[in-house]
Amino acid sequence: MLPHFLDKLLPPLFRRALRKRAVRQERKNFALGYVMPSLRHIKTWLTESRERTNFTYDLTDINLFYLAHTVSLVTGVSWKDAAAYIREAREDRELEEHVAKAVASSPFRFEADEKVLWGRRLGWYAFVRARKPAVVVETGVDKGHGSVLLCSALLRNRAEGRPGRYYGTDINPAAGYLLGGKYRETGEILYGDSIESLKKLDARVDLFINDSDHSADYEYREYNTVVSKLAPGAIILGDNSHATDALARFASERGRKFLFFRESPKAHWYPGAGIGISF
C-alpha cells in the first residue's frame, strides 16, 4: 500500500486499482499460506524418496490420536489400548529391518523406499490387534506393505493364543514381495482378478480391506461379492473412500454403519487418503 500522502495525490480510478491489486495480493498470500508448507516437501521427496506410487509417510501426532479414537469407537477397546497397538506397529524394529532388506534385495528397489512409514495402514494393524480376526482379506497388494504389516499383527495375536490367517489378492504376479520370512507363516497371496479370487475363497471373513482397482464400480462389486462370506460382526475397510462413496452406499443398502477417517500425512506433499469403515 502507498503512504497516505501519496495516495491522496493519485487519481481516484488509479487509487482504486492499486487498492484492488493490493487486496488481491493479500488474499493470494493468505491462500498460499495453506498450501506452501506441503509444496515445500516436494524437494525433499524428490531427493530422498524413490517412490512413484502408493506413497509411504508418517501421520501427524493429532491424526494418530484421532485414529486411536476411531479404532476404539468401532471395536469397543479403549482408546488407550488402540493407541498402544498403533505405537506397537510404529516401534517394531524387527519389521522395519525386514522391510528394508526385502526392498534392498528386490528388483523393484528403485521404485520403493527402504525406510518404512505406515500411514493409515496403522489403523488396519490396530483393527487386527483389537478384533483378533480369524481371517483377514486384503484386495490389492502392490509391494506388500499392508500384507506384511497385517501378518505382523496376526503373529502377535497368535502369540496371545488367537491365531488368524491373511489372504491378499492381486492381479500382478510380482506383487507382494515384502511378504516373506516369518510373516508368510500367517499369510499368502492369491494371484488373479480379485473378484474371481473372492468368489473362490472358502472362508468366513472377519476383516475385509478393499485396496485394488480404484474405480467406484469395481470397488462396489467387491463389496457385493464378499458380503456373503462375511462372518458375524465383520468389519470392512475401504482404501478408496476419500475418492468414492461406494462403501458408504454399500453400508447404507445393507443396514451397516459407516465412518470415514481422513489421514493427515506428516512432512509430505501428498494430502492423504483415509479409511472408510463399514461395521
pLDDT in tens, 16-62: 777 888 888 989 888 888 888 888 999 999 999 999 989 999 999 99
Rounded Cα distance between 20 and 31, Å, is 17
- Assign domain 43-278 one CATH number from 3.60.70.12, 3.40.50.300, 3.40.630.30, 3.40.50.150: 3.40.50.150
Q: What pLDDT, on a 0 to 100 scale, did the predictor assign at position 167?
A: 98
Rounded Cα distance between 169 and 155, Å, is 20
**Can you give the three-state secondary structure of 189-226, one letter per residue?**
EEECCHHHHHHHCCCCEEEEEECCCCCHHHHHHHHHHH
pTM, entire model? 0.91
**Domain-wise residue ranges, the chain:** 4-38, 43-278
Q: What pLDDT, on a 0 to 100 scale, did the predictor assign at position 16?
A: 77
- pLDDT digit string, tens, across residues 217-259: 999 999 999 999 999 999 999 999 999 999 999 999 999 999 9
Task: Match 488407550 to its residue by C-alpha cell.
Answer: 80
